[in-house]
Structures are given as C-alpha cells and as structure tokens.
Structure 1
Amino acid sequence: MTESILSIAQTLTDRLAARRQSGLLRQLRTADGLVDFCSNDYLGFARSPVLRTMIQEADSTHTRLRTGATGSRLLAGQTQLADSVEQELAAFYQTEASLIFNSGYDANLGLLACLPQSGDTLITDELIHASMIDGARLSYATRSRFRHNDLNDLESKLQQASNSTQSGQVFVAVESVYSMDGDQAPLGELVRLCERYGAALIVDEAHATGVYGPAGEGLVVALGLADRVLARVHTFGKGLGVHGAVVVGSALLRDYLINFARPFIYTTALPPHSLLAIRYAHQYVQAAADTRDQLQTIIRYFQQRVASERPGTNWTNSPSPIQCLLIPGNEQARQLAQQAQRAGFDVRAILSPTVPIGQERLRICLHAFNTVDEIDRLITVLPVTPLPNELYAT
C-alpha cells in the first residue's frame, strides 16, 4: 500500500477503535432462534407463505419479464408493469398519482432535497427519521425544527416564516408514527395549522403503512386527510413485508419528482420481481383486516400486562406496535437487551446518539404473530421497579 492509503487506513482504524472504546461500535448479527420482538414485520407478511406463493405464481406467469431492471426508469428501466403498479398504488392510497422509489430512504431523501428550494422554508419535527434529516440537509431551503409534536412551537416557527422577508413556500415534514418512540403525530391539528399559515404538509407513513386505515392505507387516509396533505411516503419493507417505497400525491408532484429527484433519476429501477411483490403485498393487505385487529389486540394486551406487572416503569406514550422502555445510560440499556436475548427474545437497545442522552431505551416491536405466552415471558425479564427519576432526561 502507498503511504497515503496506509495513513487513511490508520485514521479509519483509530475512529473504529474510539467507537469500540465508547461501546457504540455497530456490528451486523443475526438473531436465529430468538422470539421476534425487534423487526418491523408488524403483520407477519415477510414470513407469510400465502404472500410468498402469490409472488412466486406471479413470477412464473410473467415469463417474458427480465430478471433485472437494466437501467434507470428514464433510460432502459421503464416498463408497463411499473406504470400499472403505480396506478394501482395511487388508487389504493386514495390519491391522483404515485412514483415508486427503491427504498423509503431514497424517497425521503429525494423528496425533501428537491421540493423546498432556495428562498423556501422547511420546518421539521425534531424526531423525523434520518432519511428526512439527510434530505433536508441537501435542500437549499431555510430550515428549522420544532419540538416533537409541539403545535405551539410549530406555530411560532410558522409565524416566523410568514413574517420573513422571503416570499417562498413553506413546507412542514413529519412522520405519522415515529420510529423511535412509536407515538403518532397529531395529523388533524397539523393539517389545520399548516392551512392557516399557507404551509404544505409532508408525511412519512413508513410505520403506519399496512397497520392503520380501512385497508392498511396509513393514518392520513384513516383520518380522511388525503386531499389536504401535499405528499406522503409509504414504504413497503415494514408492515407490507416486501421492499421499495412510493411517494403519493398529485400528478404534478409526480412529474416534478421525475425531473428533479436525484435518487429517482440516477438509480437503477427496481426489478420486475420487486414490482410484482409490491403489487401482491397490496392485494394481500386489503384482505388482512383480521391480522390488523389481532395486532391491535396484542398491543392492548402488552400494555395491560406492563401496567399490571411493571407499574411505574417509564415507557414512551405509544399506541402503535413500537413500545419503548426508557433505560437511561447506554450500558444499562445494552445489559438489559442482552439479558432479554439470553432469555430467548430478540430485543434491541437503542443507544445515544441515535436517541438523546438520557433517552436510551429498549425498543420492543409487537407483531400480529406474537403470542400471549411470549409476551408474558418477555415481561418477566423487564425491570420490576422504575429506575431513579434523576436518571431520566427532561
């Protein structure tokens, strides 16, 4: 190796050593044999033999389809299948048009990077996903954050934007269900506040897709707000158990993204197999009302058991499948996760700086396929009494 490569290698080694020393080194590992209380497969679609068979049969009947997309959609990757699936998604999500992206990360990155422009204002909830944060960083808009789900703080930011000498547009970006706390955005109030100040609302529905709505269309549709939200992002790798994502909204928004969203323009398109998986996952979810009901039953049972068996322990205020027990301190949270894993449960600790210092936690994801017995056994490994209040961040 050259001297410059050796120098860079040493720098990388030192950075990894520092991360290891701080106990924050990330590593890839499997959880074979553990009861799943970790994945985002809320409805169990990723392991569904019925959905697998639907996709396999569709693959076998579309024998003339290529195995790969062969290029971006603006070049060789455009197909009639992609167009027809997007039309189906627009109908499902009760909107005019849709545009498929390769992942939720790509969709959020492309949407927030290209939609707000120089002279515009982008206001985001402080707890939005990293993909939205990265998209916002790439935007040339003036950016600010409001306190999580704090409508008064958001209104003050909207007032500042309206009083600004800039004459641009104002955008507000939130998640409908927050990935690290599991709580919901007050979407009705957010829509009304945005309309009062002439702002446009963008909603990431990643953790609501499949779980909420009459047929799994998400919280925006469940609340009857589809026509009052500028753009929604729905990802398929969580509740729907497949892969990819879509931005839904007007036909004008779709045309704009085709022309300006770099993660769409410069990425090889999803292969036909993935498009078929998206199609049949959406067909399958429309017949999954009983599965959604079972998931809600599991959530209620878990919360009742926690209230009964672990009173006073500190949990985020979540009605969703994401239930988070706050365990201040990286080492304490890590040790408790390891204790749960030794007992046979795949539970992971979420450490700072992924969450603020003092807000470290166990992130427990519930699923329609989890059993009452599994929940009862999991609760036995959770702390019996709350940790001292002074350990919690305010």
Structure 2
Amino acid sequence: MNKAEEFIQSRLQQRAEKGILRILSSKPLLVDFSSNDYLGFARSAELKTISAATLTQITDYKNGATGSRLLNGNHIFTEETEQAIANFHHAEAGLIFNSGYDANIGLISSLAQRGDTIIADELIHASLIDGARLSHANRYTFKHNDLNELEAKLRVSKGNVYILIESIYSMDGDFAPITEISKLCKQYQANLIVDEAHALGIFGSQGSGVVQMLGLEQDIFARIVTFGKALGCHGAIVLGSKNLRNYLINFARSFIYTTAAPIHSITTINSAYQMLIKTDYTKQIEHKIRLYKSLLKDTAIPTIESTSTIQTVLYNNVNDAKLAAQTLQSKGLDVRAILSPTVAKGKERLRICLHLFNSDQEIEMLVNELKKLKYE
C-alpha cells in the first residue's frame, strides 16, 4: 500500500472509530421525514405531465446539452426560463447554474477580490464557505444571527464587502434577521447575499421566499434560489441585476467550465414554477408545521425553535443521535441523524423535514415515537 492509500485508510479509520463514517444507502423506508422534497414535487405526477407537455413544444432539444452554455450548450428556452424566474422573484435578471453548490461557489469566488471582505454567518452552507475560500478576500464569521458581532466586523471591513446568510438555515430551520442585516448593509455600504434554498415554496406569496415576504427584493445584492428542495428538481439560479448576470457569465468558473444542464431538466424547472404560480402551497405546508409543533408542545424533547419545514431534536453526541435515528427507522420512519462535522461537535441532532405528503396521522405517529425516546 502506497502512502496515499495509507493516508486514505487512516482518515477513514479515524471516522469509523468516532462513529461518524459516512456511507451511501438506498434502503427505502415507509414514511419520509428526511428529504428536502417539502412540497412533494419530486414525486409529483402533475409535474411529470406538465414537464412532458412542455418538452413536446421544443422541437430542437437534445438528450444532453453537448457543451457549456458559452460554446454550444445554450438554448433560447433556458434564457426564457431564467427571465421568467427572475420576473417571478421580482429581480432584474437571473442565471441558472447546474446546482446550488455550483451557484454559490461561482458567485462568491468570482465576486470577492483581493482586498475585499466577506463576512459570513457561522452556520452558512458549505458551498458558501467554499466559495469564500476560493476567493482572495479577507474572511470573517459572526456568531449565528448576532447583529452586534456582525456590526463589529463591518466596522473593520475593507474594499467591497459581502455579507453571506441564509434566509432559512438548513440544519436549525430558523430565520435570519434579514431586515436588520439589510439595514446594517445600507449603513456600511455592504452587499447582502441571501441563500433562499430552504425558503422557496414555503414562505412568501406563491412560495416566492423570505426576501419577498419581507418586501426586501430591491435591498438584496444577490439571491440564490435552489431547485433541488421544494421544487423537486435540480439546479439553482442566482438573481440580481443584469450587470451581475453578465459578470457571472464572464467570470464564474463553475458556470463557464461545465456542460450545461439538458433541456429536459430546464423544462422540469420551468414546469415546477408553473405549479407554484397556479397554486399557493404555503398555507398547506404551514398546517403540517403547526400540527407537528402543537403535538410537541409541553414535552421535554429538546428542540431548536423553528417555524419552517426543518425541525430538530437535539442529542449533542454522536451515539445517542444515531441510536435515536435507528430506533425511528425500525418503526418505518425515515429520520436521519446529523453528525459532526456537518454540524459542530456537541450539536448532533435529528433533522426532521415535514412535507405536504406527510399525512396528519404520520406526523402524529412520529411525535408519539419521539416521546418514547430517551433524552438527557
């Protein structure tokens, strides 16, 4: 075994000994409480039908894009879809990326230059962190949702300043204080970038997101809207000015140097937005969230306050979180443990996702099983 293989084996062994070795699994469970398919679009027969009908109207599409969009992989339907999505979100323009990860690393790494400053909430997604690392900017973090610490970092910032937050945080399910952060950005002439991955379809009129729910569209420098959660598709779009769109086309490496998404993927995204426009699902999903929280009320189960589809049960150590997840899975409930390093050590938890397709009876069953678990 050469040194590289020895290194690989050693790192894997370390994780196995700590009980945090990741493995892939395709084992189906009865009741989904773990996926990001909040509105059930990924399993939607209606979405398949609309997408197939839309695809028949496009006569010149190929199975694959055949190249990057700057070569021969662009299509007028993709550009029309980008503008339609931008209009839906009250933005001037938008640019589709192949994934939320690609969107975040492309946006952040290309924008922030040497001498600029990035200030990020400590709980932002790994893709935003990686985008910041790829830049040459000065980088700071502030304690989660701590406006005082954010302002302290703003006071010492130099160059163009970019603030990175999520509207709904993916592990805790809580809101960012976007209105207050936006005011600080105006005061210090900073640029606010908001990842709306877990807000699309859940908050705002027609599920347009938290930024629009708060009426802050014109105050946000850029929004990242991801299609792989509530829309049940794949990809993401960066929303902002026409200048920003043109800049990303020229400088975002994760856009420039990758094969474009195929047209059948774009039609699914387009069709999912048609469904959002046709039906406002926010009240329906709100009912599921209220039901879960009401059933959990007055219990000793340790949680993080959240009014989103993402709910947590804290265990604060690897073994207890894994055992709790295994117990629920043995009952046919697909609940997963989130372990370090995805969350900080000592912040291990069950991450519970609520969906429109979860019946009230299934949610009641979940809470009843949670009540049977041990908590310290």
When the two structures are superposed, what TM-score results if normalisation uses the length of structure 2? 0.97
Q: Does 1:300 align with 2:309?
A: no
- Of residues 354, 359, 364, the one that matches 2:352 is 364
Q: CA distance change for structure 1 residues 66 and 385 in 2, over 3 Å: closer, same or farther?
A: closer
Q: Matched residues in 2 for 1:368 and 1:42: separation?
A: 6
Q: Is the 8 A contact 2:38 2:354 kept in 1?
A: yes
Partner of residue 380, structure 1: 368
For residues 95 and 57 of structure 2, the distance between their equivalents in structure 1, rounded to whole angstroms, comes to 25
Offset, 1:33? 3.6
Q: Which moves more between the two structures, 52-61 or 273-282? A: 52-61
Match of 2:243 in 1: 252
The aligned counterpart of 1:335 is 323
Cα drift, residue 102 of structure 1? 0.2
Which structure 2 residues correspond to residues 218-297 of structure 1 after superposition, within 5 A? 218-289=209-280, 291-297=281-287
In the comparison of the two structures, how many residue pairs are matched? 376
Cα distance in 1, alignment partners of residues 27 and 307 from structure 2: 26
1:344 maps to 2:332: yes
Residues 122 and 141, structure 2, Cα contact 8 Å, conserved in 1:
yes
Q: How far is the alpha carbon of 1:369 from its aligned partner?
A: 1.2
Give the SS at the match of 2:245: helix
Give 1:98-247 correspondences, 5 Å limit: 98-161=94-157, 166=158, 168-247=159-238
Structure 2 unmatched runs, 5+: none
Question: Which whole-Å CA distance do the structure 1 matches of 2:348 and 2:15 have between them?
Answer: 17
* Cα separation, 2, equivalents of 1:103 and 1:297: 30
Q: Is the CA contact 1:31–1:346 (under 8 Å) kept in the aligned structure 2?
A: no
Counterpart check, 1:50 vs 2:46: yes
State how far apart, in whole Å, the 2-side matches of 1:368 and 1:37 are.
11
TM-score where L is the length of structure 1:
0.93
- What is the CA-CA distance between 1:267 and the residue it aligns to? 0.7
Q: Structure 2: which amino acid aligns with 1:275?
A: I
For residue 64 of structure 1, report the CA deviation from its aligned partner. 2.2
> Per-residue CA shift, 1:52-87, capped at 9, x if unaligned?
111112223323211111111111111111111111
Alpha-carbon distance, 1:193 to partner: 1.0
Deviations 1:173-208, CA, capped at 9 Å, x for gaps? 100000000001011111111101111100000000
Work out the CA distance in 2 between the residues paired with 1:157 and 1:49.
49
Alignment-mate amino acid for residue 147 of structure 1: K
**2:369 partner SS:** coil
- Whether the aligned pair in 2 keeps the contact of 1:312 and 1:385 (CA below 8 Å) is no
CA shift in 2, pair 1:385/1:347, >3 Å: closer
Q: Deviations over 1:87-121 (max 9, x none)?
A: 11111110111000000000001111111111111
> 3-state DSSP class of the match of 1:313?
coil
CA distance in 2, matches of 1:314, 1:42: 23
Distance in structure 2 (CA, Å) of the matches to 1:34 and 1:260:
45
- C-alpha displacement of 1:318: 0.8
Question: Which residue does the alignment assign to 1:318?
Answer: 306
Tell me how large the CA RMSD over aligned residues is: 1.3
What residue identity is the alignment partner of 1:292? Answer: T
Distance 2:375 2:353 in 1: 22
* Contact 2:204–2:282 (8 Å) recurs in 1: no
Q: Tell me the SS of whatever aligns to 1:77.
A: coil
- Unmatched 5+ stretches in structure 1: 389-394
Task: Indicate conservation of the 8 Å contact 1:211/1:292, yes or no.
Answer: yes
Tell me by how many angstroms 1:383 deviates. 4.3
Pick closer, same or farther for the CA change 1:124–1:141 going to 2, 3 Å: same
Task: Provide the secondary structure at the position in 1 that maps to 2:184.
Answer: helix
